[in-house]
Amino acid sequence: MMDSIDTLKKQRDTNQKTPSSTNSWMEHITFRLATKHDIAKCYEIESASYPPDEAASLTSLTYRQQHATPFFLCAMLQNNNNDDDDDNEEKEETIVGFTCATKCRTFTEESMSTHDPNGTLLAIHSVVVEESYRRCGLASKMLQYYISAVKKQRTIERIVLLAKSHLLGFYVNCGFQVMRPSSISHGKDLWYDLEINLALSNEALPSSASTQDYYSGNINGGDDAANIIRSPFLSLHSPKKKKQQEKIALVILNTPMSSPPSSIFTHLWNMASFHVCADGGANRLYDATITKDNEDNKYIPELIRGDLDSLRSNVESFYKSKGCKVERDSDQDTNDLDKALQVILKKYSSHENNKEEEMSVYIYGAFGGRFDQEMASIQALYKWQTHFHNKIFLYNDETCAFILAQSIRNEIRLPFYGDDHDNHNEQDVDDKGKDKGLVHGEGPTCGLIPIGCKCDFVQTTGLKWNLHGDVPLEFGGLVSTSNHASEECITVICSEPLIFTAEISTRRI
């Protein structure tokens, strides 16, 4: 790398000047390798830029300069007070930033503490700029210069580093890819592993690279650590595919239902092994399914639960006569949906020792009623996501929504993707809610909604308009609505929880 940096130093006069007059000092920036006399200043910048539990010690910086000299680069500001004195070789210069790294064979906390001359990984420890010179593009310029020099060597296979969520966009713009939440503990915050795979290309990896390039590796020790979400309607599209054993609960909320019930509701009902009406949801189910000519109905829930301020007496009597249990919970600090989820969680907690089973909860009627009730349903996703391992979903006949877990790869498989928009309505459904040559499912229109907080980093594949980690999602800024699933599998890595939503489509088979 020494030769590479020397070569690049000869080209420094060709660097473009910064258009802004306030950044005119940028034209006087050059780069050189650090000497032992620079370490005190580098330590001063390091200590002022990182929390005490993250900043490198003076001993560590000294070690890196001594043992990994070719990989310790300083950004120098040339202070030339006499521009006409071209023969003056002793121009005053100031260190305004630096990048340092060590070589290793594996990317672990232990391996980063030393320098292995025979290592094929280059682990960057610091990319830091003095505070008064920040937000002018210097960090990007310095890091890109550094990467260019490293690429000219054929001994480095990957450049790796750790970064917090708010800096992921910066590193993605410099050519890095976010690989996984890091297992390395450094300070109190969560970090992410990033890398540039020089073995794939001599150029910085493009942000539009395919799923196979960047998501084929394991996350936290295995692919099964990813949050995998499969549409409940995929079984209609591939009926011969063996379905993994799964326990499913359905909660019916107090919002309008069509009579007879839609095919969407019917499919969710048939999938579920446990059906709970949240208070007035029993009224909606009764009105949609019970007629004077037909009281021997298959739509009998196992439980009605809530404060029961909405449940009609005739509905309560009817379902009790069919063996349904009715429970009153007068706690006013929880809503009826929470009360239903409490029972479901308690019911299935006894099955936790069976590792072959998964549990999913579908909440029907989450949209289409009062706005505050819709927001209560969204709140339930955030409140209960960890209890149900991110397998809790909101549905009505037009749309669905669920939460994406932060810090791991989310894989979403929808039945409808691509440019086929041959949608139909429910006119070809018989009086029992059975399809006549139609199938239903989520997609292709979808969205990523940052409810609750700003999401600093979002990287996706499989969407018509993918996100590459360079722009945060937030209200008042970018919100990814009216996007489209373009591939069978959508992947999302996000630094904070996101709501994924998709339309419900009906298509002829």
| CA proximity to 453, closest of 367, 382, 372 | 382
Q: What is the pLDDT of residue 350?
A: 57
Distance CA 185, CA 166 (A): 17
| Domains in the chain: ranges and CATH | 2-206 (3.40.630.30), 225-236+246-508 (3.40.50.10240)
Q: Per the structure block, which two tokens stand in for 262? A: 């839609």
Instruction: Indicate the helix (H) or strand (E) that contains 400.
Output: strand 399-404
Instruction: Indicate the helix (H) or strand (E) that contains 467.
Output: none
Sequential pLDDT tens for the chain (509 residues): 444 444 443 443 333 333 344 457 788 899 999 999 999 999 999 999 999 888 999 999 999 999 999 899 999 998 765 555 555 555 688 999 999 999 999 998 888 889 999 999 999 999 999 999 998 899 999 999 999 989 887 789 999 999 988 888 888 888 888 887 888 876 677 888 899 988 764 443 333 332 222 222 222 233 444 688 999 988 765 544 444 456 899 999 999 999 999 999 999 999 999 999 999 999 999 999 987 666 657 899 999 999 999 999 999 999 999 999 999 999 988 999 999 999 999 887 755 445 445 689 999 999 988 899 999 999 999 999 888 888 999 999 999 999 998 767 789 999 999 875 554 444 445 555 555 567 889 999 999 999 988 888 888 999 999 998 778 899 999 999 999 999 999 999 888 899 999 999 987 76
| CA proximity to 194, closest of 221, 162, 169, 158 | 162
Q: What is the pLDDT of residue 394?
A: 97
| CA proximity to 475, closest of 499, 502, 454 | 454
**445: DSSP letter:** E
Q: What is the pLDDT of residue 78?
A: 84
Q: Residue 399: which residues within 8 A CB-CB, separation 6 or more? A: 367, 501, 502, 503, 504
At 19, give phi and psi (nearest 5°). -60, -35
* Cα 310 off chain centre by: 39
For the chain, what is the radius of gyration of the CA atoms? 29
SS3 state at 148: helix
Q: Per the structure block, which two tokens stand in for 328? A: 């009153």
Q: Residue 465: which residues within 8 A CB-CB, separation 6 or more? A: 480, 483, 484
Contact assessment for residue 101 and residue 61, using Cβ atoms and an 8 Å cutoff: no
Exposed/middle/buried for residue 350 (C-beta within 10 Å: 0-12, 13-18, 19+): exposed
| CA proximity to 178, closest of 190, 188, 189 | 190
Q: For residue 401, what are the CA distances in angstroms to 319, 398, 451, 458, 478?
A: 30, 11, 12, 18, 19
Q: Residue 240: which residues within 8 A CB-CB, separation 6 or more? A: none
Q: For residue 207, what are the CA distances in angstroms to 124, 152, 364?
A: 20, 21, 38
| 256 preceded by a cis bond (ω within 30 of 0) | no
Estimate the crossing angle of helix 281-289 against helix 313-321, to 10 degrees. Answer: 70
What residues form DSSP beta bridges with 485?
463
DSSP strand pairing (227-230 vs 409-413): parallel
Distance CA 479, CA 200 (A): 32
Q: Check the CA dihedral 205-210-216-220 and report its sign.
A: positive
Q: What is the pLDDT of residue 243?
A: 46
Place of tokens 């990989």: 71
At 92, give phi and psi (nearest 5°). -65, 140
Q: What is the pLDDT of residue 138?
A: 94
Q: What is the pLDDT of residue 240?
A: 47
Contact assessment for residue 501 and residue 449, using Cβ atoms and an 8 Å cutoff: yes
Q: Per the structure block, which two tokens stand in for 274? A: 């446990």
* Cα 246 off chain centre by: 25
| CA proximity to 263, closest of 503, 504, 490 | 504
Distance CA 108, CA 118 (A): 16
Place of tokens 């200590």: 47
Cβ–Cβ contacts within 10 Å for residue 11, how many? 10
Q: Per the structure block, which two tokens stand in for 116? A: 């292995």
| CA proximity to 260, closest of 424, 434, 395, 398 | 434
